[in-house]
Amino acid sequence: MQVKGNVFKYGDNVDTDVIIPARYLNTSDAAVLAEHCMEDIDINFTDRVKKGDIIVAGKNFGCGSSREHAPLAIKTAGISVVIASTFARIFYRNAINIGLPILECPEAVADIDDGDQVEVDFTAGRITNITKGRTYQAQPFPEFMQALISAGGLVNYLSKQ
């Protein structure tokens, strides 16, 4: 499993209120949520994001509310993987459960800049910064998680079992 895209880089403690503001939570339509993804932290995000692009952020990504709408908005907006130094625990759970790939790799976060082109190999846990010509090693995805992500999340995975 490999993905490639351009990086949107953010800082520490990106919370679920800026990923998808509560004022849009009167719907659970993923397409509508995706239109407002990252709006309060990066007003141009939805105009610029292309399918396959990658979010790279600091520590405690996804802190705050338990809204699954947050990873759902990110995934539906086209983001292929989120790389962060650490994730808040509910976001971590939710991302896995809905099949949004996430990786913890402080070393990659420290080196990757906004706009860099990056390639991720989930099986090997390898992150390649094509722009800078460097690679970083994260924990490879356990098989279970790879299966879960290709199934499109926990529920699809369970119902296929």
Among 1, 18, 124, 151, binds another protein (CB under 8 A): 18
Q: Position of tokens 């996430």?
A: 102
| Interaction between residue 35 and another protein (CB under 8 A) | no
38-97: which residues touch another protein (CB under 8 A)?
39-41, 59-60, 63-69, 72, 86, 88-90, 93-94, 97
**Residue (60 or 129) nearer to another protein, CB:** 60
Alpha-carbon distance of 57 to 82, in angstroms, equals 8
Strand 102-104 vs strand 54-57: parallel, antiparallel, or unpaired?
unpaired
Sign of the alpha-carbon torsion through 103, 109, 114, 115: negative
Minimum CB–partner distance for residue 23 and another protein (Å): 6
**Residue (11 or 52) nearer to another protein, CB:** 11
**Cα 62 to the center of its chain, rounded Å:** 10
| Interaction between residue 156 and another protein (CB under 8 A) | yes
Q: What are residue 3's phi and psi, to 5 degrees? A: -135, 155
Strand 117-121 vs strand 81-84: parallel, antiparallel, or unpaired?
unpaired
Alpha-carbon distances of 101 from 56, 98, 159, rounded to whole Å: 12, 9, 20
| Interaction between residue 23 and another protein (CB under 8 A) | yes
91-130: which residues touch another protein (CB under 8 A)?
93-94, 97-98
Name the site residues for another protein (rule: CB under 8 A): 13, 15, 17-18, 21-23, 25-28, 39-41, 59-60, 63-69, 72, 86, 88-90, 93-94, 97-98, 153-156, 158-159
